Amino acid sequence: MSWKWFAALAAVLLPSDAAAESRRLCDMPLTWSYVEPASAVPARYQGLMGLWTGSISFSGSSESTRMCLAVAIHEVKVDGQAKAAFSWNMGDGNESANMVSKGVAPVWWAHTAVLVPEKGEQLVFAADAPYRGRWYRYVLDFPSKQTPDTMTGYLYASRQGSATDRSPAAWMNTVEAHRVTLRRMKDSLPPLPAPGVAERK
């Protein structure tokens, strides 16, 4: 058996990731590749995959009341970790007192956690370093059975945070809370068998 024949056979039989997808989201270039989840990954995590777009409604901002936000969740793990690419844009070209007005985070890992018992499991994207003395994190509710293509939550800023400790005790003294609303784009579904809905309890 020649090595070329073996390589061709392996390409057909072995699973492979999807081709990279590139889009201009929030007027910023963003590229990602969906990764097929392992069979052991719970359906509620698989249901998080996809391209989510929407906005953040800021409270107490004098420059802008909304910011465009796009989140491409393209990989999920059995332990609830999720890998995503982010783009954001305030649309006015200025920098607010809270964050850089526009940008891209090509890789941002999230974890799932129960921060508030009545909310159940939530998806948390936490910063690895403070910005202007504040630690930012996105805390998003799982999609529900009634609204499987919608995620809502908040962008929080705290005076306390940690690059390694994601427990609630390490993220204290919240000083900002801004509403986040995201909806799944139906034209960018992962090229995988339809996953189960990540139902919020």
Residue 97 above 60 pLDDT?
no
Give the residues across from 155 on adjacent strands.
138, 178
- State the pTM of this model: 0.81
What is the predicted pLDDT for the residue at 189? 75
The token pair that represents 107 in the structure block: 């890789």
Fold designation for 15-188? Lipocalin (2.40.128)
d(CA 106, CA 35) in angstroms, rounded, equals 15
Give the 3-state secondary structure of residue 45: helix
| Residue whose token pair is 């018992």 | 117
Domain boundaries, the chain: 15-188
Q: Tell me: the pLDDT tens digits for 146-200? A: 999 999 999 999 999 998 888 888 899 999 999 999 999 988 878 665 444 444 4
Residue ranges of E strands in the chain = 21-25, 28-32, 50-57, 66-76, 82-89, 102-113, 122-126, 135-141, 150-158, 174-184
Least Cα distance to 68 among 39, 104, 97 occurs for: 104
Q: Tell me: the pLDDT tens digits for 39-54? A: 899 999 999 999 999 9
